[in-house]
Amino acid sequence: MKLSIQLSVSAIFSLISVLGFAQKKTQSFTVERTINAPAEAVWKVVGENYGDVADSHPGLVASEYVGDQHQGGEGCVRICYLNEEKTKYTQEKQLNFDTTNYTFTVQISHVEKIPLDADNSTAVYKVVPVDAKSSKIIIEMNLRTNPAFMGALAKGKFRKNIEDYAIAIQHNVLTGEKVNQENFKEIKAKYEG
């Protein structure tokens, strides 16, 4: 009996320490997509038009610049709304803005009704020229959910969301058409495969 209680207590402490470790884990993934457009055209959509992200993101219903900003750049802040009521959103700051190498970092600074830990969630955007007429968008996500133990479960959903975003970027760059939840299914069918 004493051995059974000791094993049970030991198992409980092991579970608590595993859950405690899991809560500190950051989930990471990278999404890449080659686009038949020059790097400058892709950069314009993701870097320069940073606050207009809802024009090329099927998961957003709206987005806006914060303050007097009207174009992407170092320190630019945007809000990305996930519902019509604008009660579910992320606020994101653009950092390490490098127009020469077509790269910047997004630091999530505030979330509302989204299971992300704003202090531990970032994305690095890179637009890499392939040749004069094509480029590759690379988005490296690092996120921690809140509560953190949900991270492994949510990682797939976040990855799919960013994969869809990459397709939408491609369509927006190539056609100029705004991408939204209503037209994305048809758009996605054109680019998959």
Tens-place pLDDT, residues 18-62 = 444 444 689 999 999 999 999 999 999 999 999 999 999 999 999
- On whether the 25-191 domain is CATH 3.30.530.20, my answer is yes
3-state secondary structure 121-156: CEEEEEEEEEECCEEEEEEEEEECECCHHHHHHHHH
pLDDT, residue 109, reads 95
pLDDT digits (tens, 9 = 90+) for 123-149: 999 999 999 999 999 999 999 999 888
Domain positions in the chain? 25-191
Of the candidates 102, 103, 52, the residue with the CA atom closest to the CA atom of residue 78: 52
Write phi, then psi, for 56 (nearest 5 degrees).
Answer: -135, 25
Tell me the Cα Rg of the chain. Answer: 20
Residue percentage of the chain with pLDDT more than 90: 81
